[in-house]
Structure 1
Amino acid sequence: MAANPVVSIVMPCYDAAAHLPASVSSVLAQTFTDWELVAVDDGSRDGTLAWLKAQRDPRLRVLSQPNRGVSAARNAGLAAARGRYVAFLDADDTWARDFLEAMIAAMRARPDAVLAYCGWQNVGRADKASAPFLPPDYEDSDKAENLFAGCRWPIHAALVRREAVTAANGFDPALRNAEDYALWLHVGLSGPIVRVPRVLAFYHFHGEGQASDNPVRAALHHLDAQRAYLQNHPALAAQLGRARVRALTAGELLRRGYACYWRRDLPAARTIFRTVMRLGYGTLSDWKYMLPAWLPEAWHRRLIETRERNARTSDEQS
């Protein structure tokens, strides 16, 4: 029997036939070659499974299951993984050729580290979010607060020790969004993490029902993940204090509601605002924006139009 690979790459696949060739090619092109790719077909309806089975590289292992969602697919891949380290690559994203080489070198240089993370770039967007991004070094005195506040790197911009993922019980199948945040929070606070200051991971936008397309679910699942972590780790709540916990949970929800509001995604903003109000959070100024979310949506839109019209009139008169 062949020795276990150094790295297991887990790739969940659902109706990904159009994108798989590019993603798998970025794995095949890695300068570090001691890996296995565990591809999990999650009940695809297109040619995903057939394409995977047609590949001839012996390092590619194919699993198939009925559609259960991305978290269940990743967990199935984790259960089959044999590597000392694990990396996650979705079937429509890619890596630089030396991603594995650089990440493994960082982990080997810090033997007590549980995770390494790197910079990334969003591809296929025309706004400022398409610029390459290098995250800061989070291994400092503010680490717990920073990791709790939000997901600090995307799923494919990290390399993690397999036993650390196992200890965190993998991905929560109840989360359709923020499942990566929930895992990184558990793993990142279980031991040292190390930064690789290079852009090595690429997230591809293609407008085909990606998880990032549902801002309400993303916001609410992020809150769910935060609440679950605090319930299981009361020491963090005590460390941060009630006011700071409120700012990082309800406050983050309010920030996401405003983001939807200002881009005029009113249905999403209204849903998020109503949740924030149920939590009793926000200043008087915030509530002036949020309260109309209880009105019928058509009335809410007319109120916004009236406010904007009055603001333009005031500007013209001044």
Structure 2
Amino acid sequence: MFSIIIPLYNKAPYIQRAIGSILNQEFEDYEIIVINDGSADGSEELVAEKYGSTIRLYHQENSGVSVARNRGIQEAKHPWIVFLDADDFWHPLYLTFVEKTISENPDVGIIGTHYDSNKLSLNPELKYYVLKNYFKRAIRNTYFFTSATVVKKEFFEYKPSFDPQLKLGEDIDVWLRASLFFGDGIYIQNTLVYYSQDDVERATSKTYKLEETLIPKLFKENYYHQSIDKSTCSQDTFIAFRDKWVLFNLYPIVHDEKINMFLSQISNKYFLVKGFYYFPALFANATFRSFFRNYMKFCFRYIYK
């Protein structure tokens, strides 16, 4: 039922924990696909020696996580694609709860699960809800995180997979396009995924240029039209989502001079947030940045809701 894809790049201290959490699943109808992305720390030898034919191990030159995930999708044999990063791990009931959610909602195409970096759920009862009007509620939280997301393989058979040109937001790009393709997804409230913050080399700790992020891609005219299928989200609703999401996520790269190109395309009705971006010197202060994020949350929760 599930094809589980793990990109592997220099994660020797963590990979056994990740694979072990799969082998410890209550639900057993799955395959494990590990894509070794040019590891240089012996990760691939460790996996091959310890797990052998239990997994399907493929090798490629270091090409990035998107290429690795896309290779895994190409090799997948099952109708549901499940992602797990090599330094994260799952609760033993993760696949059981996902399978039950699918059986109760056969038309769903994308499922997210709550995750945490401290502890997993002790609640043995499945709890979930439909993400109704997804693009009206996903401004501050897109709900989907790579190690806690399951997508029907049908999406990847009809639409582009992970974009190798993106170094930040390549996963969110897929979640947004899959939500336009399938319609509103489902969110499992149980904390079933452990999100590791042990590895200081995680992508979220790095700095990227504006063109390496999802933001420019969202402003392409064909983004909505090439993605929309079963979703009832209108183009106006998507554009409103895009504008607010970009405003909420643009501030870490505010030093980039190219941001004015995108600010000019965002509606002026969001002036209470948009206006701050024309004063970049203010963002040099870390205290102000913290204030600004809380200020944006207030604006999008109570003023621009």
**Same fold by TM-score greater than 0.5:** yes
Q: In the alignment, which residue of structure 2 is the partner of 1:307?
A: none
Aligned amino acid, residue 109 of structure 1: E
Q: In the alignment, which residue of structure 2 is the partner of 1:82?
A: 77
Using the size of structure 1 for normalisation, the TM-score is 0.73
Contact 2:118 2:194 in 1 (8 A): yes
Cα deviation for residue 72 of structure 1 reads 0.3
Aligned amino acid, residue 55 of structure 2: L
Cα deviation for residue 84 of structure 1 reads 2.1
Q: In the alignment, which residue of structure 2 is the partner of 1:205?
A: 197
SS where residue 46 of structure 1 aligns? Answer: coil
Q: Matched residues in 1 for 2:152 and 2:182: separation?
A: 11
2:167 to 176, 189, 192: 176
Contact 1:86 1:162 in 2 (8 A): yes
In structure 1, the gaps of 5 or more residues are 1-5, 125-129, 261-267, 305-318
Q: In the alignment, which residue of structure 1 is the partner of 2:280?
A: 293
Q: Matched residues in 2 for 1:44 and 1:163: separation?
A: 30
Q: 1:79/1:246 Cα in 2 relative to 1: closer, same or farther (>3 Å)?
A: closer
Whose relative contact order is higher, 1 or 2, with alpha carbons under 8 Å and at least 6 apart? Answer: 2
SS where residue 190 of structure 1 aligns? Answer: helix
Aligned length: 276
Aligned amino acid, residue 254 of structure 1: L
Does 1:223 find its partner at 2:223? Answer: no
When Rg is computed on C-alpha atoms for both structures, the one with the higher figure is: 1
Contact 1:11 1:74 in 2 (8 A): yes
Q: In the alignment, which residue of structure 1 is the partner of 2:298?
A: none
Contact 2:166 2:212 in 1 (8 A): no
Cα deviation for residue 109 of structure 1 reads 1.7
Aligned amino acid, residue 259 of structure 2: T
Q: In the alignment, which residue of structure 2 is the partner of 1:103?
A: 98
SS where residue 270 of structure 1 aligns? Answer: coil
Contact 2:26 2:93 in 1 (8 A): yes
Q: 1:12/1:102 Cα in 2 relative to 1: closer, same or farther (>3 Å)?
A: same
2:263 to 253, 264, 279: 279
Q: CA RMSD of the aligned region, Å?
A: 3.6
Cα deviation for residue 105 of structure 1 reads 1.3
Q: Matched residues in 1 for 2:100 and 2:4: separation?
A: 17
CA deviation vs aligned residue, 1:177-227 (integer Å, no higher than 9, x gap):
211111112222222523322111121112422111135558962313423
Q: 1:106/1:250 Cα in 2 relative to 1: closer, same or farther (>3 Å)?
A: closer
Q: Matched residues in 1 for 2:239 and 2:106: separation?
A: 36
2:40 to 41, 45, 65: 45
Q: Matched residues in 1 for 2:173 and 2:207: separation?
A: 17
Q: 1:20/1:279 Cα in 2 relative to 1: closer, same or farther (>3 Å)?
A: same
SS where residue 108 of structure 1 aligns? Answer: helix
SS where residue 213 of structure 2 aligns? Answer: helix
Q: In the alignment, which residue of structure 1 is the partner of 2:247?
A: 254
